Amino acid sequence: MKFFTLIKESIYSPEFYRGLPSKPLSFSVKYFYMLALALSLVVTVVFSFTFIPAISSFLKNIGPAVTAYFPDELVITTKGGEVSVNVPEPYILPVPPALQVIPTDGAEGKGQMPTNLVVIDTKNEFSETAFAEYDTLVLLMKKSVAFSDGEGKIRIESLGDIPDYTIDKALVQKFASRTGSFLKYLAPILVFGIFFVSLAVFTFHLAYLLLAALLVWLVMKMRRAEAGYKRAYQVGIHAMTLGLILNTFFLVAFLPKPTMPFLFSILLIFVVAVNVKSPELSAEKPVPPAGSDGAVGAGGLA
């Protein structure tokens, strides 16, 4: 419960900020990492339950799907940077039905998936007219491969550095089998990956604060509070709490972040401004001595 009290006080508690100079910097760094670990755990849990089942299902099915899609008779051979096939050309591999609903900007008819996934034509040189007529994502030629770059332009890459290889259905099945054996490690790898990436992103804010502490220091000076760079950095660690929590909320709720520029820094400065006050403003009003006013008044009435 003390940790949650610290979170609340870091968002708003002038009394807490007034007593912060008596605490070492390590106290604030420890608090920051407790907060970062908690928020990273929230991100990991939400993302794991949301995305990992879908990713695992996709990868579990992609191997058998690719194996079933690859033609039994097709053998693609690369030798000396040149491609050859054992089937009549042009050889066409149409887009599978499962992919036909996926939009792409690179195909003819912008926003529409083309009719073909791969067309193999090692007999002819590349031409934009042929590429358009084939209505394909990829055109494999004797010495090069052409494909849409996703921006409506066609890129052509040489195959000169491709090693000698033979691709047939047996090789595809072997690759799919190896992919399936990897899946049992996928979920824990993704979980730990999400957690450590989240923690690294939160840790980056300590580096951000190296500069932002100058703004904190300036606000503290304007508020006539005790200010030095180290003190401002320590105050900034706690003042980031609100921004970190809001960023995490928008992330795990899958809501668009506000587009206001420098919103995180604005929240940081706002929290500092409402919590840090000069000693004169923070001092409590003196309590009148007992009987100083009331007793006299009573005596006078008597």
Residues belonging to the chain? 302
Read off the pLDDT of residues 213-267 as tens digits, 9 standing for 90 and up: 999 999 999 988 877 999 999 999 999 999 999 999 999 999 988 888 899 999 9
Spatial separation of the C-alpha atoms in residues 136 and 93, rounded to whole Å: 9
Spatial separation of the C-alpha atoms in residues 76 and 74, rounded to whole Å: 7
Which DSSP state fits 275?
A: H
∠ Cα 135 136 138 (to 5°): 155
DSSP bridge pairs for 144: 158
- Type of residue found at 87: V
Average pLDDT, rounded, for the chain? 86
DSSP bridge pairs for 128: none
- Which is nearest to 225 in space by CA: 270, 281, 278? 278
Read off the pLDDT of residues 36-59 as tens digits, 9 standing for 90 and up: 999 999 999 999 999 988 888 877
Beta strands in the chain (DSSP E): 76-79, 82-85, 91-94, 116-120, 136-140, 144-148, 154-158, 165-167
Is-contact 85 122, C-beta < 8 A?
Answer: yes
Over range 69-81, report the average pLDDT: 93
Residue 298 pLDDT: 40
* Dihedral angle computed from the Cα positions of residues 132, 138, 142 and 143, in that order, rounded to the nearest 10 degrees: 110
Spatial separation of the C-alpha atoms in residues 148 and 139, rounded to whole Å: 9
Spatial separation of the C-alpha atoms in residues 24 and 26, rounded to whole Å: 5
Does residue 107 carry a pLDDT above 80? no
Phi, psi of 116 (to 5 degrees): -115, 145
Phi, psi of 231 (to 5 degrees): -65, -40
Read off the pLDDT of residues 165-209 as tens digits, 9 standing for 90 and up: 899 999 998 888 887 777 778 889 999 999 999 999 999 999 999
- Type of residue found at 69: Y
Phi, psi of 278 (to 5 degrees): -70, 155
